[in-house]
Structure 1
Amino acid sequence: MGRKKTSELDAVATKQSIVATAERLFRDIGYAKTTVADIAKALGMSPANVYRYFPTKAAINEAICDRLVHSIEAESWESLGEEGTATERLTRFIVAYHTIIKRSIIKEKKLYDMVAVAMDEHWDVVQQHSYRMCNYISIILEQGMAAGEFRRMDGYKMAIALHEALTVFLYPSLLEHRVNESDGGSSMLEELEQLLDLLFYGLSAKA
């Protein structure tokens, strides 16, 4: 039993090392230019050994993306704080998410390219991320309904509708086009805030 547990721990540690090394190379070289052989060389192991833990480079990328999107979610959720109305808190959450994605496009282009591949290929990790984002939004909507701030509705269905309405400000590939077409400055944020004002007006219990 002790040997088996140690072996399992070693396997987890090796997988974590592969993911961490791959992420560093993807940041430095870029996803497209990094090969499994590069990852193996940096770890001092053979490519065949890497393939024991991950069947493809895409599988490594998926593991990295899973870690990254959880980090983005956590940072966005922390922006909520405990003060303010549901409208104010949901605005902070969405603006924080938008800002993090935009920052990655502008300042961490190589890492963003890796996430964009995952988004465009509709990997399960990205779909699960979208589900969680809708869950976060629905939680805040439910809180707003309980406080009498929002009209009664199906919170999760409305969360999906809001998420889709905001896609151009949240989805990396679409946001990249907006960043390239603009100065990447405050104008895009102002547009997002104006759209949120419109959406929240429709949600208001007083509308």
Structure 2
Amino acid sequence: MGRKATVSAMETTKLHIIETAENLFRQIGYAKTTVTDIAKTLGMSQANIYRYFPSKASINEAICDRLVHHIESQCWESLVRDGSSTDRLKRFILEYHRTVKDNIIKEKRLYDMVSVAMDEHWSVIQGHSDRIEDLMRIIIEQGISSGEFRAVNSSKMAKAVHESLAVFVYPSLLEHGINDEKNGNGQDSLEEELGQLLDLILHGLSSAST
């Protein structure tokens, strides 16, 4: 009983550290937030913070992991509704784009960290990419089984589709698109451009196109 209580207390403290750091990242940005700031806000010593996280980088990764899991849960909800594999893949990709876009607008300082995580190949980003591609692979395989999609290597196709979406889901690239959209430079909106890419992807997957 005592061990369970100790483990629970440690997990609670870790969560408080993560939540406090995340709030500071929102206020002043993750690059400017120090372990000293986190410790001071919590009324703890830096040494105590390091009992739970070996470095600031490990705190960054824990927060980044929370952010990408939030994105995934939003995308997952789009798959709950019924529909053809074409409908489900389209909904999934649109929700993926919208979730990242909305959070960049609302939480720019936090998503600056996601951009760095992608540039520096943090392990949490690789895990996120693998999970997104796995969900798309499942949808593609269901479409192949139903005869809606032509026979393809589902894993390679899911990876190719995911990589083709970079400008619509990669925070640093997407931010440029958001700024262009705000400035009204006469180009199609981001979602219109994504719709055109989706038409191309879905046409290429369709069994009717073979």
User: What TM-score range do you get, normalising by the shorter chain?
Assistant: over 0.9
Pairing 1:28-177 to 2, within 5 Å after superposition: 28-177=27-176
Letter in 1 for 2:203: Y
Deviations 1:137-171 (A, max 9, x none): 00110111111110011111110011111111111
Letter in 1 for 2:206: S
Does the residue aligned with 2:138 lie in a helix, a strand or coil? Answer: helix
Q: For the residues of structure 1 that align with 2:176 and 2:46, how far apart are their CA atoms?
A: 36
Q: 1:204 aligns with which of 194, 203, 206?
A: 206
Distance change in 2, residues 1:129/1:145 (3 Å): same
Letter in 1 for 2:24: L
Query: Quick check: 1:191 aligned with 2:193?
Result: yes
Letter in 2 for 1:127: Q
Q: For the residues of structure 1 that align with 2:34 and 2:85, how far apart are their CA atoms?
A: 46
Give the TM-score normalised by structure 2. Answer: 0.93
Does the residue aligned with 2:207 lie in a helix, a strand or coil? Answer: coil
Give the TM-score normalised by structure 1. Answer: 0.94
Displacement, 1:80? 2.3
RMSD: 1.5
* Structure 1, 60-69 or 107-116: larger mean CA deviation: 107-116
Determine if contact 1:135/1:156 at 8 Å carries over to the other structure.
Answer: yes
Letter in 2 for 1:125: V
Q: For the residues of structure 1 that align with 2:154 and 2:65, how far apart are their CA atoms?
A: 26
Q: For the residues of structure 2 that align with 1:133 and 1:77, how far apart are their CA atoms?
A: 10
Determine if contact 1:26/1:114 at 8 Å carries over to the other structure.
Answer: no
Deviations 1:42-69 (A, max 9, x none): 1110011101111111110100111111
Q: For the residues of structure 1 that align with 2:17 and 2:142, how far apart are their CA atoms?
A: 41
Deviations 1:99-133 (A, max 9, x none): 11111222221111122222221110110000000
Q: For the residues of structure 2 that align with 1:184 and 1:91, how far apart are their CA atoms?
A: 27
Distance change in 2, residues 1:144/1:184 (3 Å): farther
Runs of 4+ in 1 over 4 A off after TM superposition: none
Q: For the residues of structure 1 that align with 2:12 and 2:106, how far apart are their CA atoms?
A: 30
Letter in 2 for 1:205: S
Does the residue aligned with 2:83 lie in a helix, a strand or coil? Answer: coil
